[in-house]
Amino acid sequence: MKTTKIVLIGVGSLSFGLRMFQDIFIEHELEGSTLSLVDLDRESLDLMYELALVMNRKSGLNLKIEKTTDRRKVLDGAGFVVNSIAIDRSRLWQLDFQIPKK
């Protein structure tokens, strides 16, 4: 069995984190891999970490799950890094609708 390390940066976003979990925890080829969760918001990170533990247990994939607020601690050895960071998200989403209307 070949394993990998997946780093999810910005995992505290429920829309991003949950969607990623839904994809990861059905993929049996990831069995035994490492899932590194990163977010600056410790409360959101803790919530997503607990959710990942539950989904991991139910999936039977036996992933190693780790969490941190410092991405540098988990980037080494990563096979995949998914970055989902939004700055000024509401304003930018408004532009996504306003620009095509013009």
pLDDT tens digits, one per residue of 19-75: 999 999 999 999 999 999 999 999 999 999 999 999 999 999 999 999 999 999 999
Nearest in space to 1 (alpha carbons), one of 56, 62, 57, 58 = 62
In the sheet with 34-38, reading across from the earlier edge strand, the strands are: 64-68, 34-38, 5-9, 80-83
Contact (CB, 8 A) for 7 and 74:
yes
pTM, 2 dp: 0.83
| Beta carbons within 8 Å of 60's beta carbon, 6+ residues apart | none
Contact (CB, 8 A) for 95 and 20:
no
